[in-house]
Amino acid sequence: MHLYFETSYMTKILSIFETEYDLAKALIKRDPIAQRTFYDKFSGKFLGICCRYISDVMAAEDIMVESMMKIFEKVNQFGFKGSFEGWAKRLVVNEALMYLRSKKMFEVTMEDMHELQNSYSQNMDFESEELLKLIQALPNGYRTVFNLYAIEGYNHNEIGELLGISEGTSKSQLSRARVILQDQLKKNEKYGYSI
Amino acid sequence: MDPIDKLFSDKLKNHEVQPSDRANILFLSKIEKKEEKKKPLFWWTMSLAASLLIVGFAGFYFYSSKKQNTVDLAQNTEKRQEDVKLSENAEIQNSTLPKSQENVLEPLKEVGEKGFSKSVTVKHTSKIVEEQDLVVSDKSSQLSEYQPTKEVLKSVQIAKIDEKAQVASAIVPNQETLIFLTPMLAMNGAMNPHQKALTMKALQSNSENKEDYFSEEKSLFVRVIDEVKNLKKGEKVDFNKLGFKPIEELALNQDGFIVSESHQIKEKLNWIKSRLNNN
């Protein structure tokens, strides 16, 4: 349910911006309708990203709104190359990371890498919200690295540059995150998704 | 790809979380703040531009009106010069002294009731009086009464009015001659030709004709000069002729601002004095 417009009216508005490039051009012109359209279209996705990095929902919402403002400010830097949505999502991730850095929530600990016996559950039918809760339950460092590697698709070198850590640390953090998640998945499977 | 990674990636990559009303209101407030920030700047620039335009138009208007006034003034002065020329030319024909003659004018007769010396001697230099040199006088009848003599004094020069020049040469009276010229003539060119002509008229004209003397045609400048002369003789100044009231009379005006303010101050001072005396 949209806050500002009814669905039919929203459809009309969206039809004005046939492509995301049209929307980007309108945002460059600081069109207020375009800004509200962009918020309605992408606020859910961006909040989903923020919730993966920041466990506190209210803080995640604040970061999402801040990300929107940042996008409106920097939209003129979008070179109209590639996906506008992908460009905007990267900005949101950066905002989330900056928030974590400011709060010093990277609990990155140096741990020796060790092989883990990964026994995966056969039943992988989990709801998205349940999985989100599992990620939010991870320690900050593990959660961040897992998000960047598994979902955003960064490699360990890029993660090291983003977070200011070494590749080895990034790998160990990822490994630990997987172990914890696996355990959690098994437990939930055992108890029938009751988290 | 690791199965765990794949699981979480597939489920959470495009997962959406609906923002709460709090988040929506926060977004709206931030948007509105940005729009409000723009407006003052817009209005500031517009108001600045409008004020500059107004100043520009006002300056253009005043400049053009001033230019018009100077053009009118130039035209008027040209007319006056022409008038003076015409009158002077007419006088020249009647009153130019013959060349190669060194002449001395006999004393002028009484030329005015007030402020003028009764006997005056004006003497020419040894210079030949050329046709261009003008003896500015009122009418030919005046000069025809005088009989020139042969004595010549070099220290006296006749006032000249050049065809082009606005400035008259200084008139240096001889010791034996009494001044018949107004102070303003002695100031060496403070007057324009028109004023000078009028002044000379006033000097040499038959001032028994009071109507001419007090006529409105006489400029304020001339009237003021006459009253100054009267003052020198010890007479009181008649402000009615001049057309304005003196400062003292203005100050005595009971309805005036100056009187009322000074009156109030006096009253207060008296009140303070009375209080002090009582104490």
- CA B194, CA B274: separation in Å to the nearest integer? 61
Which of residues 9 through 68 in chain B touch A, CB cutoff 8 A? 9, 11-24, 26-27, 30-31, 35
The candidate with the shortest Cα–Cα distance to B222, out of B261, B195, B244, is B195
Q: Would you say residue B117 lies in a domain?
A: yes
Q: Would you say residue B63 lies in a domain?
A: no
CB-nearest to A150 from B9, B16, B19 is B9
CATH placement of domain A7-102: 1.10.1740.10
- In this model, does residue B279 exceed pLDDT 50? yes
Q: Which of B54-58, B140-144, B250-254 has the highest mean pLDDT?
A: B54-58
- CA A47, CA A100: separation in Å to the nearest integer? 15
CB-nearest to B16 from A44, A58, A126 is A44
For A153-172, the pLDDT digits (tens) are 999 999 999 999 999 999 99
pLDDT-based confidence at residue A145 (cuts at 50, 70, 90): very high
The candidate with the shortest Cα–Cα distance to A174, out of A125, A90, A116, is A116
Span between the terminal Cα atoms of chain B, in Å: 108
Count the domains in chain B.
1
Q: Return the amino acid letter for A47.
A: L
Contacts B29 to A, Cβ<8 Å: none
Bigger pLDDT: A139 or B40?
A139
Q: Would you say residue B221 lies in a domain?
A: yes
What pLDDT score does B230 carry? 83
Residue B96: give the domain boundaries. 77-242
CB-nearest to A132 from B12, B19, B30 is B12
- CA B19, CA B71: separation in Å to the nearest integer? 77
What pLDDT score does B22 carry? 94
What pLDDT score does B111 carry? 42
- Give B43 to chain A, closest Cα distance, Å: 19
Q: What's the complex ipTM? A: 0.80
Q: Tokens 């490994």: give the residue.
A: A175
Bigger pLDDT: B260 or B61?
B61
Q: Would you say residue B28 lies in a domain?
A: no
- CA B14, CA A48: separation in Å to the nearest integer? 8
Q: Return the amino acid letter for A66.
A: E
What pLDDT score does A130 carry? 87
- Give A110 to chain B, closest Cα distance, Å: 22
The candidate with the shortest Cα–Cα distance to B127, out of B88, B146, B160, B99, is B99
Q: Where in chain A is the domain with CATH 1.10.10.10?
A: 128-190
B204 Cα distance to chain centroid: 28
Q: Where in chain A is the domain with CATH 1.10.1740.10?
A: 7-102
- In this model, does residue A90 exceed pLDDT 90? yes
Instruction: Report residue B106: phi and psi, to 5°.
Output: -70, 165
- Give B37 to chain A, closest Cα distance, Å: 13
For A34-85, the pLDDT digits (tens) are 999 999 999 999 999 999 999 999 999 999 999 999 999 999 999 888 899 9
Q: Cβ B3–A131 below 8 Å, yes or no?
A: no
% of chain B surpassing 70 pLDDT: 39
Class of domain A128-190: mainly alpha
Q: Would you say residue B121 lies in a domain?
A: yes
Question: Any idea which of B35-39, B45-49, B148-152 has the lowest mean pLDDT?
Answer: B148-152
Q: Cβ B15–A32 below 8 Å, yes or no?
A: no
Contacts A62 to B, Cβ<8 Å: 23, 26
CB-nearest to B19 from A43, A124, A127 is A43
% of chain A surpassing 70 pLDDT: 76
B193-204 vs B220-232: helix crossing angle, rounded to 10: 50
Cα torsion through A119, A124, A128, A130, rounded to 10: -60
Q: Would you say residue B232 lies in a domain?
A: yes
For range A103-114, the mean pLDDT = 51
Q: Which residues contact B96 (CB under 8 A, 6 or more apart)?
A: B129, B131, B135
